[in-house]
Amino acid sequence: MRRALRLARRGWGWTAPNPMVGAVVVQGGEVVGEGWHAELGGPHAEVVALTAAGDRARGADLYVSLEPCNHHGRTPPCTEAVIAAGVRRVIIPVRDPNPVAQGGVDRLRAAGIAVTEGVEAEAAAELNAPFLFAQHHADRPFVTLKLAVSMDAMLAPRDRSRLQLTGPEAMREVHRMRANADAIAVGLGTVLADDPTLTVRSGRRPRQAPTRIVFGEADRVPRSAALVKTARRVPTWVMSRGPGETELPGVRRFTAPTLEAQLAVLRHEGIRHLLVEGGAGLAGELLTAGLVDRLVIFRAPVLLGAGALAAFGGVELDATAPGELPGRWQVVTERAFGHDQMTVYAPAASSAR
């Protein structure tokens, strides 16, 4: 199953709104075929793996990182391919909550195929957390908040100068994360302070460039901002509370009265996974409102000290425990990138639905 999950990851940035899925066919303790869902609209993982296995799929075990689909979508149902191939047993981590595709386990069992569930369930759910979330929540996107902070949980030095805290390894990881998001967002303050580009500039490019989103009043977004100047090439949206007057060429503008309402607009526009990259104001608002599904913190080995800009703007931080996070969080992943430490947190109450 871990092999199937590794294969699934090869679809990173290419399958949305579909999940990433991998499959391995095992016959007599030997891998006889494997595959993954490589691209939206392309064949599903099981079909690729079974085709690779050919006749050797008869009587084999099929490890697939999501319940096989049971519907005619862009491709025929995987359940029928599994049954036709003569597979003996199917092993999955989690069921597919998609109402149109689900039902695979029941269909396979009805055809006399043994099905084992729950293998590597946590890892599989985490890999496709935004997909799984979207099946149960139509009111907003899955929100990943990424922040690079100092050891004392600061975002910027006292003089607010633009300081690159994390190293090149962490940068590459951020670009990889961007490739798996439908949209990348920042607050207006970050546009004014950093003039970011918010494009995927390292690693494999995604199937579609993520939409770039600014939360803030459109009238305050400079026409000279890098995001505005490139808006005709890369989709760029501004989410404002008020209507505003200035024209921003190539930029789509949306008006909604609250952050929640703005997120609802984004989901309605097809954004299922939103990566927020700051700054302190937007991060604080999202955290306070309980709208963060994954918090990704890169901690750089520097101290910014008194007077620096606190990472979780507007949210109480325990001064005696620098880096302590507001709310209750559990650690999902921890990993070093060069000199920086990445920690991924999920809200403690909810699991990766």
**Cβ burial 181-196 (10 Å sphere, 16+ → b, else e):** bbbbbbbbbbbebeeb
> Residue 185: which of Zn ion, ligand AOF, none does it interact with, CB under 5 to 8 A by kind?
none
CA 197-18-136 angle, to 5 degrees, is 95
The verdict on 170 binding ligand AOF (CB under 6 A) reads no
With CB under 6 A as the contact rule, the residue among 4, 5, 16, 45 that binds ligand AOF is 45
Looking at the chain, list the stretches that DSSP marks H as alpha helix, in order from N- to C-terminal side.
2-8, 45-53, 78-85, 104-110, 121-127, 129-136, 168-179, 188-194, 226-229, 259-268, 280-288
Which residues are paired to 339 by β-bridges? none
* Nearest Cα residue to 311 out of 333, 336, 343: 343
**Active site members:** 46
Binders of ligand AOF among residues 86 to 105 (CB under 6 A) are: 96, 98, 101
Enumerate residues 40-69 that contact Zn ion by CB under 5 A: 44, 69
What DSSP character marks residue 241? Answer: S
Separation in Å, CA 235 to CA 274, 282, 309, 345: 14, 21, 30, 29
Other CB atoms within 10 Å distance of the CB of residue 31: 16
By a kind-dependent CB cut-off of 5 to 8 A, residue 210 interacts, out of Zn ion, ligand AOF, none, with none
Residues 121-150 that bind ligand AOF (CB under 6 A): none
Residue nearest to ligand AOF (CB): 73
Say which entry of ligand AOF, Zn ion, none residue 79 contacts (CB below 5 to 8 A, set by partner kind). none
Q: Is 44 in the site for ligand AOF (CB under 6 A)?
A: yes
User: Does residue 341 bind ligand AOF (CB under 6 A)?
Assistant: no
96 binds, among Zn ion, ligand AOF, none (CB under 5 to 8 A by kind): ligand AOF
Please classify residue 121 by burial: count the beta carbons closer than 10 Å to its beta carbon, then call 0-12 exposed, 13-18 middle and 19+ buried. middle
Amino acid (1-letter code) at residue 269: E
Q: State in angstroms the smallest separation of the CB of 335 from Zn ion.
A: 31
Token pair recorded at residue 218: 């459109």
Size of the site for ligand AOF (CB under 6 A): 17
Q: Which is nearer to ligand AOF, 46 or 293 (CB)?
A: 46
End-to-end CA distance of the chain: 20
Among 19, 103, 130, 284, binds ligand AOF (CB under 6 A): 19
Part in contact with ligand AOF (CB under 6 A); list of ranges 54-62, 70-78, 210-218, 229-237:
70-78
The reply on whether position 81 binds Zn ion by CB under 5 A is no
Q: Among 33, 37, 103, 180, which residue interacts with ligand AOF (rule: CB under 6 A)?
A: 37
Using an 8 Å Cβ cutoff, are 212 and 237 in contact?
yes
Residues that bind ligand AOF (CB under 6 A): 18-19, 21, 37, 44-46, 66, 68-69, 73-75, 78, 96, 98, 101
Instruction: Give the interface with Zn ion as residue ranges (CB under 5 A).
Output: 44, 69, 78
